[in-house]
Amino acid sequence: MAILLNHVSYVYQAGTEMAVTALNDINLKIPDGQFIGLIGHTGSGKSTLVQHLNGLLRPTKGALYYDGEEYYSQGFDLKRLRSKVGLVFQYPEHQLFEADVFSDVCFGPTNLGLDRKEVELRAYTALKQVGIEDEYFYQSPFELSGGQKRRVAIAGVLAMKPDVLILDEPTAGLDPKGRDEILDQIKALQKESGITVILVSHSMEDVAKYVERIIVMNKGGVLFDDIPQKVFHEYEKLEEIGLAAPQITYIMNRINKELLPVSTEVKTIEEAKNEILRAMRLQHD
């Protein structure tokens, strides 16, 4: 179910001396099933944007559409929207509160007014989707490791069966392995269920391997919106606004400039390796 943003602007404390424009004339289309990275430095407007998508903030100007229906129009079901566009906040494990893992995940679907059997089925499926084994179901969520807690929190949102899943910095504070595990899991989930996933992050390096589209926010506007390779190509621009391309982009650009003609449009170490080997073979022939 596509989301459409049409000239969306948002001003915090509008009409006062303290007014700050957080979003400035945003036009975006978020179609079904995409895996999107939403990147920007602190204060670039990415969190404000995300809060618009699931109806936590109402635009000062412009409009949003979910499945063709305008947000806040007459008869628009905001509660349904919030179950369909699931938002996982930063450090979501701070929001766990139930006595055991399973009850925590049941909380959301129970509030949707579903019957017990459906609630439990959804909780079970969601926990499986994030890779939490049965043995943990009746443990206190507070006894789990950081990475596990975070996955339980994500399951809590998945149990609402969202069409769009937004994750705000899902890997913050995790060790490198924990970071890869969570992102691998989300990628698998996205592939299997076909839902749209929006990863909000500071780090291009983290999202490069996973996403098919990167939206770069700066000063409340969309600066770039393209496939990762094309966005990384603008690494000098990215640095100007306090971001950075993955280290691999810098490596390939330097090789290309100083050593060998290589394509600089690579996303992963694997691609870089193959590209360098290819260029070296060519040079030899």
Partner 1 sequence: MGIIKTSKLIFEYIRRDEDGNVEGITRAIDNVDLDIQQGDFIAILGHNGSGKSTLAKHINAILYPTEGTVWVDGKDTSVEENIWDIRQKAGMVFQNPDNQIIGQLVEEDVGFGPENMGVPTKEIRERVEESLKAVGMYEYRKHSPNRLSGGQKQRISIAGVIAMHPKCIIMDEPTAMLDPNGRKEVIRAARALHEVEGVTIVLITHYMEEAVFADRIIVMDEGRIEMQGTPKEIFSQVEKLKELRLDVPQVTLLAHELKKSGLKLPDGILTIDEFLYELERITGKQNTPGKMGIL
Q: Which of 172, 187, 221, 265 binds partner 1 (CB under 8 A)?
A: 172
Select from 40, 54, 77, 78 the least CA-distant residue to 5. 54
> Residue 269, CB half-sphere, CA atoms under 13 Å: how many?
2
Answer for the pair 201, 168: CB distance below 8 angstroms, yes or no. Answer: no
**276 counts as binding partner 1 under rule CB under 8 A:** yes
CB of 122 to partner 1, least distance (A): 27
Q: Which of 26, 84, 243, 264 binds partner 1 (CB under 8 A)?
A: 243
Q: Which is nearer to partner 1, 123 or 144 (CB)?
A: 144
Q: Considering Cα of 127, then 128, then 134, then 135, what sign does the dihedral take?
A: negative
Site for partner 1 in 54-83 (CB under 8 A): none
CB of 180 to partner 1, least distance (A): 8
**280 counts as binding partner 1 under rule CB under 8 A:** yes
205: CB partners within 8 A, 6+ apart = 246, 247
Answer for the pair 210, 189: CB distance below 8 angstroms, yes or no. Answer: no
| Cα(6)–Cα(69) distance, integer angstroms | 12
Q: Which is nearer to partner 1, 27 or 247 (CB)?
A: 247
**145 counts as binding partner 1 under rule CB under 8 A:** yes
**178 counts as binding partner 1 under rule CB under 8 A:** yes
Q: Other C-beta atoms within 10 Å of 229: how many?
A: 16
- Contacts with partner 1, residue ranges (CB under 8 A): 41-43, 140, 145-147, 172-178, 202-203, 205, 242-244, 246-248, 250-251, 254-255, 258-260, 269-270, 272-273, 276-277, 280, 283
